[in-house]
Amino acid sequence: MKFNDALLGAVFLALSIAVLVTVQGYPRIPGQSIGPGAFPGLIAILLAGCSIALVWRGWRERASQPLVAIGAWLGSLPHVRNFLVATGSLVFYVLASDKLGFLICGGVILLSLFLTLRVRPRLAIPLAVALPILIHLIFYKMLRVPLPWGVLPVLW
């Protein structure tokens, strides 16, 4: 998805203004003329300058560059679905991993991605069961990463 430079510049400009406003409230280091707001403030001013230049450039080219150019993949339903499933599976993990545990979440994520990417179900299902177990063994047993068990009892 390609946005016009003017639009992107505006987003960056908003960000730098927000930073500038926020750092106004920061205290100074006692006895010094400088404080925690100085460095981010300086960066935000530079970023605002660049953003204005980008807005200007985008505005000049607005005739040839549409405000939002839909990339080829956004016009194709399967690709949009792939994108949503991939990002959605990370969201799902963030929300559900504590409750359901790594093994279940990992299996669900793999199975849904395999199926959306058109892996044959006969291959997808055994892989979606086996791979999370393998990764869990490596990280939980060997590297001692406390991956959550969730609803399952502690098996190993």
Partner 1 sequence: MLHAYAQAFALVFDPYVLTVILCSALFGLFVGCVPGLTATMATALLVPITFFMPPVPAIAAIVTATAMAIFSGDIPGALLRIPGTPASAAYTDEAYAMTKKGQAEIALGAGLVFSAIGGLFGTAVMITSAPALAEIALKFSDFEYFWMVVLGLAGAVFIGNSSILKASMSLLLGLLIACVGLDNPAGHPRFTFGNAELTGGISLIPMMVGMFAVSEILRFVVHMDPPLKLATEKIGNVFKGMWALLVKYPWPLLRGSALGTVIGIQPGSGADMAAWMSYAMAKKFSKEPEKFGTGHVEGIVEAGAANNSALAGAWIPALVFAIPGDSITAIAIGVLYLKGLNPGPTLFINNPQNIYAIFLVFILANLIMLPLGWLTIKAAKNVLRLPRNILMPTILLFCIVGSFAINNTVFGVLLTLVFGVLAFVLEENGFPVAPAILGVVLGQMMEENFIKSMIKSDGDVTAFVTRPIAMWLAIFTFVILFWPVGTWLWRRTRSAY
Is 47 a residue that touches partner 1 (CB under 8 A)? yes
Is 57 a residue that touches partner 1 (CB under 8 A)? yes
Direct distance between the N- and C-terminal alpha carbons of the chain, in angstroms, rounded to an integer:
45
- Answer positive or negative: Cα dihedral of 148, 150, 154, 156: negative
Q: Do residues 5 and 60 touch, judged by C-beta distance below 8 A?
A: no
**Sole binder of partner 1 in the list 10, 135, 149, 150 (CB under 8 A):** 135
Is 149 a residue that touches partner 1 (CB under 8 A)? no
Is 50 a residue that touches partner 1 (CB under 8 A)? yes
The residue count for binding partner 1 (CB under 8 A) is: 67
Rounded CA separation 100/148 (Å): 8
Give strand pairing partners of 3. 68
DSSP per-residue codes, 26-92: PPPPTTSS--TTHHHHHHHHHHHHHHHHHHHHHHHTTTTS-SEEPPGGGGSHHHHHHHHHHHHHHHH
For residue 60, the number of C-alpha atoms closer than 13 Å in the C-beta half-sphere is: 6
Is 139 a residue that touches partner 1 (CB under 8 A)? yes
CB of 53 to partner 1, least distance (A): 6
**Sole binder of partner 1 in the list 17, 40, 133, 150 (CB under 8 A):** 40
Is 150 a residue that touches partner 1 (CB under 8 A)? no
Q: Which residues bind partner 1 (CB under 8 A)?
A: 1-3, 8, 12, 15, 19, 22-23, 26-27, 29, 32-36, 38-40, 43-44, 46-47, 50-51, 53-54, 57, 71-73, 76, 79-80, 82-83, 85-87, 89-91, 93-94, 97-98, 102, 106, 109-110, 113-114, 117-119, 123, 127, 131-132, 135, 139, 143-147
